Structure 1
Amino acid sequence: MALMTVAEVAAFLAIQEIRVERLARENLLVAAGKDANGKPLFEQDDVKRYKTLAERLGGI
């Protein structure tokens, strides 16, 4: 289970970090836990699946 930080997810999806946090708040991208600063952590496989789905629906 590889966990990704908000910054890593933002870089992978080519979006701003604030958008990643909003996706987590809206449960569009489910967080697997929180880091020491209270920021969400995401499973790498979930992020890849989200990117694939978003691309199929017309973009992120």
Structure 2
Amino acid sequence: RNLKEAGFTKKDLGVYILMGSSYIDMEKTMDDIIFINSLGAKAVIASIPLSPGPWTTRYLLKIK
């Protein structure tokens, strides 16, 4: 509601979807993209770095 009152439209909205890790199911991701598009928003694909490091390790441990 706040974004609408500020003048944003559905086409101005983007929803990020993470890709690039083995635990992310491609079929579920496609379902997510279709759902986001059905709402009139843009699906934006973002990749998770594949190289291990402190940031990726902490992130992956938090979401599992």
TM-score scaled by structure 2? 0.31
Greater gyration radius: 2
TM-score scaled by structure 1? 0.32
